[in-house]
Structure 1
Amino acid sequence: MDMTNIFFLLLSICLANVDALMFHLSPNQKKCLKEEIHKDVLVTGNYELSDGPGQKTNLAVTDSKGHILYSKEDARKGKFAFTTEEYDMFEVCFESKMVAGGQGADREVTLDMKHGVEAKSYDDLAKAEKLKPLEVELRRLEDLSKSIVDDFAYMRAREEEMRDTNESTHSRVMYFSLFSMLCLLGLATWQVLYLRRYFKAKKLIE
């Protein structure tokens, strides 16, 4: 197997579907899921909650600044989608509340959240542009390659930013150390001169 086949095999593995996340939500409890996502990335989510008589579960999708990107009261089943405007930490929260006559059983929550290449609907794209299956797969691989390149570019930018920060911190520490040494030398010199004058005044030394 040559390197080209290995590359396409790895890309196909990366494109494989990921099982949805499933967890239990107790009455009067709030559970949140957080994820860091890059700028200008499409994010989609499918959610479904099991029946909970007498319970009301609210769903909210927010960013780190508290902006509400999606909200749903008494969420049961649905979808949401948004495009990120900047690199940020996004939070999906489910909050369960009891109502009068409610039962205290846990609700099962299923959340399937995708972003980037995984979130795009290539079936709709194929129908709109009348693409063949091979062309659709090539388009998918092209988008995935671009996503990987963007990730590397972001990591490189972060590395340069961290390096600049380290160099700036190093310079500040060096200048502060030199300043501290000069202060100590000045203080020591002043102390010697002061003690010498003091001992001369007391005629302890000539």
Structure 2
Amino acid sequence: MGLSTSNLKAIVSLCFLLFAGLGSALRFDLAAQHHSNERCIRNFVNGGQLVVVTAIVSGSKGDGQVVNMHIKDALGNDYGRPKDVVGENRQTLTPASDTAFDVCFENLITDGRRAGNSPSREIELDIEIGADARDWSSIQAQDKLKPVETDLRRIEEVVAEIVNEMEYLRQREQKLRDTNESTNERVKWFAFGTMGMLVGLGAWQVVYLRAYFRSKHLI
């Protein structure tokens, strides 16, 4: 017996409440190099969804290192190339169609004496998509909502996005399954046709050889 949409939303809501506090930003060290060598983090976004990319880069300008960002998607669109990023940098994008997008960083050495022997910058990256990317403080003030009401509305939108994503995946799975079944059916009939042709060809060869030998009075 399949789950209804309301039941599915209830289950996803429970899972969201259980694991909502486990998420955290990605933090890593980016070693400085003399040549460009981007390090990218890839994510996926549905068309029309708001994406907010927040990067916090350690260090200071003029310390012998320059960190550059590059935000792009798999369709070849560029959404920003901030240069010499220090401190917090926030970029927003809204792709027109479903696509994967990359947030790339490079750390270039501009002055080896100031940079040190093993220079690096610490980067903290936070990517918010959809409901998480919205400015809920402004929504709360505009709609005059209580903090609990704001949280409930945010959770509702997040759950709706998760349900829509699961429905999209289910439709893709069904489409792939139908394609697979159709391909199997065609392969089956092709195999039957090939076997029939081989049997017919073998029977024709037998008849032809018997007729040939009879004409030569060999049988």
Q: TM-score range by the shorter chain?
A: 0.7 to 0.9
Q: 1:32 and 2:40 equivalent?
A: yes
Q: 1:16 and 2:21 equivalent?
A: yes
Structure 1 167/6 Cα, relative in aligned 2: closer, same or farther at 3 Å? closer
Query: Any gaps of 5 or more consecutive residues in structure 2?
Result: 1-9
In structure 2, the partner of 1:55 is 65
The 8 Å contact of residues 55 and 124 in structure 2, kept in 1 or not, is answered as yes
CA distance in 1, matches of 2:205, 2:55: 74
The 8 Å contact of residues 58 and 74 in structure 1, kept in 2 or not, is answered as yes
CA deviations over 1:75-101 (Å, ceiling 9, x no partner) = 333011112322222211112333354
Structure 1 187/27 Cα, relative in aligned 2: closer, same or farther at 3 Å? farther
In structure 2, the partner of 1:81 is 92
Q: 1:148 and 2:156 equivalent?
A: no
In structure 2, the partner of 1:134 is 148
In structure 1, the partner of 2:3 is none
Q: Aligned-pair distance for 1:125? A: 0.7
Structure 1 13/123 Cα, relative in aligned 2: closer, same or farther at 3 Å? farther
TM-score by length of 1: 0.82
Where 1:135 maps in the other structure, the secondary structure is: helix
Indicate the RMSD between aligned Cα atoms, in angstroms.
Answer: 2.7
Q: 1:68 and 2:78 equivalent?
A: yes
The 8 Å contact of residues 60 and 72 in structure 1, kept in 2 or not, is answered as yes
In structure 1, the partner of 2:5 is none
In structure 2, the partner of 1:189 is 203
The 8 Å contact of residues 75 and 99 in structure 2, kept in 1 or not, is answered as no
How many matched pairs?
201
In structure 1, the partner of 2:124 is 110
TM-score by length of 2: 0.78
Query: Any gaps of 5 or more consecutive residues in structure 1?
Result: none
